[in-house]
Chains A and B, each alone.
Chain A
């Protein structure tokens, strides 16, 4: 039995690796905390517009949702377009009619869940009248964006696609720049007349070409083979994805400077990648505490997901997502500059 010596050596190594310790103890707790906050804060109150509702229905719904009252259906629709409400119910016809905004899967499900709860409450109470009419509410809602046939995959696919592109570009770019450092070739390059910025730019451009092809393939496969719904322009989505990959690329290059080996680069994933999934729009953050919302604005994927959802599900035009694209480009520029200055420790100019 000499295993204990191996075990002791492993323990000693781990204890000496402060980053590994932090990853093992701090990162899971942080992610768990974020998950708890985000998943529990999303199940709050939807905003529903009612058009000429019967009093008993309104009374029960008021306990579950924030209610806005309108006289005309058109006004209710424009509230949905303005994203001030998640759904409206129109009682002016023979049967009540439900329409859901639909671009945000979490909000859509929330509306459906709340209405179900309301109908149950009404069915069990004395005031129940003409339940049959109300049941139709849940069966045939209209969707402003997308359709009722959308499964979870279709609704989260824009964000998912953005995330996948981000993740793979980050990992490949990070590792290859890391290799350049470990193998000594970066050191070798710094003994040449190349400027630091030229090296970083060269990497960025070289990988950029590759990432360009990768993005086209992922996106074309998603849209044409998997039929991910796309209501906006293919090329606008392409542009968003490409700009997102430049962010991933520059971030990967930058963080690789803080890693001695591949393992250390992977250690950044729980900190840099995992929170981005939580903030990428798959989960609803509208009711989350202010610091979570603030934090979500520090991560590039938040902006990309918003832009992708706008174009892919809402069918918005390119000018609508320009602010998001500018923020992404700024992220990219900052990471590149930081990377160039990190290389200073190898050569001053």
Chain B
């Protein structure tokens, strides 16, 4: 099953008015790998992952997931998505959130009850399960968002800045979970602007101003230019790209 493409992004371009958000980006994500999308905010990461879920209107190019062109509601069923903003309902508690999203993804009442308990333990929200989201801290909201994304046990997990604003202990905990999911054969796309987080990914795609500036395994990317960390790699290719742009 290894090295089989789960997601193919083919030359997608998205413009917003005269602003180019994504410029002809092509990427392939293999089954069972963690792809890190690395780039500053505003670089187009969110637009790119939304296109994979089938949201938004791409101007050119196409995305296929498991061989099906997106948007496709049957495929969406197999994707878990954690948005950058915590899209939660303030007046509902964690259990009510899981019940709603569980139903939307077709889980039965039994499954929701049973899996809900487990997933809340996983994100350490069991004791706050009946608290309104209104009273949640930022970190708790992130955890609930993650729980919702993983709840229906999707084959593809798309996480948009999952670790922003959470404490390092929890971040480590999240990553342990991501690695465990990969071991289960799940495919994960994770966006981040934290460079050291990128080291955990199997492969990195660096994006800047809508352009894919570099792609490869973290260690290889560093070796190729004799860099000591990922930030150096990013800076190197950013400058490289700018020089090319000027010429």
| Contacts from A to B (Cβ < 8 Å) | 183-185, 187-195, 344-349
| Contacts from B to A (Cβ < 8 Å) | 50, 53-57, 71-74, 76-77, 79, 81, 83, 85-90, 101, 104-106
The answer for the CA separation of A192 and B100 in the assembled complex, in Å, is 11
Pick the 10 closest A-B CB pairs, nearest first: A188-B87, A184-B87, A191-B81, A184-B85, A185-B87, A193-B77, A191-B53, A193-B73, A192-B104, A193-B76
Q: Is the CB of B56 within 8 A of A192?
A: no
The answer for the CA separation of A347 and B53 in the assembled complex, in Å, is 10
Q: Is the CB of A190 within 8 A of B104?
A: no
Q: Is the CB of A190 within 8 A of B87?
A: no
- A191-B104 contact given A345-B57, A349-B54, A349-B71, CB 8 Å threshold: no
**Chain B residues, Cβ within 8 Å of A344:** 57
**Chain B residues, Cβ within 8 Å of A190:** 55
The answer for the CA separation of A346 and B55 in the assembled complex, in Å, is 6
Q: Is the CB of A348 within 8 A of B71?
A: yes
Q: How many A-B residue pairs have CB under 8 A?
A: 57
Q: Is the CB of B55 within 8 A of A183?
A: no
B72 nearest in chain A by CB position: A349
The answer for the CA separation of A190 and B76 in the assembled complex, in Å, is 9
B71 nearest in chain A by CB position: A349
Q: Is the CB of A192 within 8 A of B105?
A: yes
**Chain B residues, Cβ within 8 Å of A184:** 83, 85-87
**Chain A residues, Cβ within 8 Å of B89:** 183, 185
Q: Which single member of B74, B76, B90 contacts A192 (CB below 8 Å)?
A: B76
A188 nearest in chain B by CB position: B87
The answer for the CA separation of A189 and B55 in the assembled complex, in Å, is 10
Q: Is the CB of B77 within 8 A of A347?
A: no
Q: Which single member of B76, B86, B88, B106 contacts A191 (CB below 8 Å)?
A: B76
A185 nearest in chain B by CB position: B87
From A191, A195, A349, name the one whose CB has the most chain B CB atoms within 10 angstroms.
Answer: A191
Q: Is the CB of A185 within 8 A of B76?
A: no
**Chain B residues, Cβ within 8 Å of A193:** 73-74, 76-77, 104-106
B198 CB, min distance to chain A CBs, angstroms: 24
The answer for the CA separation of A185 and B83 in the assembled complex, in Å, is 9
Q: Is the CB of B104 within 8 A of A183?
A: no
Q: Is the CB of A187 within 8 A of B55?
A: yes
**Chain A residues, Cβ within 8 Å of B72:** 349
B94 CB, min distance to chain A CBs, angstroms: 15
**Chain A residues, Cβ within 8 Å of B85:** 183-184
Interface CB pairs A-B, < 8 A, 6: A183-B87, A183-B88, A188-B83, A193-B104, A193-B105, A347-B71
The answer for the CA separation of A184 and B50 in the assembled complex, in Å, is 13
B122 CB, min distance to chain A CBs, angstroms: 20
